[in-house]
Amino acid sequence: GGTSCDALFYFAGLGCGTLAVLEQNEAGIVLLRSFDWNDGLFDVTWSENNEHVLITSSGDGSLQIWDTAKTKGPLQVYKEHTQEAYSVDWSQTRGEQLVVSGSWDQTAKLWDPAVGKSLCTFKGHEGVIYSTIWSPHIPGCFASASGDQTLRVWDVKAPGVKLVIPAHQAEILSCDWCKYDENLLVTGAVDCSLKGWDLRNIRQPVFILLGHTYAIRRVKFSPFHATLLASCSYDFTVRFWDFSKPNPLLETVEHHTEFTCGLDLSLHNHGQV
């Protein structure tokens, strides 16, 4: 899968990126607003305290803050990463408004959208960072997945890395936190496997899910079911899993005719992905 992935990133880096804001109503899905940026956009996260605000991360290493109530943008641009900013996520625990970004420059950065520069830079990964995801339970805690084959857990109140998990013998492209167990994370990697990790015992995974035939690009836990997850891959498929079942692969969806690079599960509609 290595060559095809490289080609994808190469083409994504050419030309412009567009942020499309969509709305679902009786008529179906309509384009509400569209914003252009002069480089590819790799990730997007909604503000947790303002329904009109979102942040994107870009191939030029910058983050952009957009307001969907305005026709032009961005409101603010943060340019600190020296290579592609591949991942961005807004904290979900109450009482803090923090954003984390992960970059191919091997660092993660912490941001407060009200402050014009990063609050902190997290170093330690020895490869590109593909994914940075906040814990939904533990304030100030996030996980990162990297090309250095490790999953790492960080605490914004402490400088160094809290935990290093050698999760795969391959690049790890995605990770996510379980919404119902603060100690459980999942990783998805170029070795085509998904692995579950309990932070209290990282010697071996609590589950391994096999079925994808190319690198796994994104994995997400369900907001409604503790043991349910969804993944998508360079094998063009989206797969649904229940790791508590003897046969965990619930469904394989083959709607896409190209690399499936991202997915998320609706917080409002149980069945919507």
List C-alpha distances in Å: 24 to 21, 126, 162, 192, 268.
10, 41, 41, 33, 12
Given its phi and psi angles, is residue 51 left (phi above 0), alpha (psi -120 to 50 degrees) or beta?
alpha
Q: What would be the CATH architecture of the domain defined by 5-166?
A: 7 Propeller (2.130)
> 136 has which bridge partners?
none
Question: Pairing relation of β-strands 62-67 and 249-253?
Answer: unpaired
**pTM for the full model?**
0.91
* pLDDT grade for 13, boundaries at 50, 70 and 90: very low
Residues 227-254: pLDDT tens digits? 999 999 999 999 999 999 999 999 999 9
**Whole-angstrom Cα distance, residue 44 to residue 47?**
10
Checking if the pLDDT of 7 tops 50, the result is no
Averaged pLDDT for residues 175-190? 98
pLDDT score of 126: 97
Averaged pLDDT for residues 148-160? 92
* pLDDT grade for 160, boundaries at 50, 70 and 90: confident
Checking if the pLDDT of 189 tops 60, the result is yes
Q: How many residues does the chain have?
A: 273
**Residue ranges of the domains in the chain?**
5-166
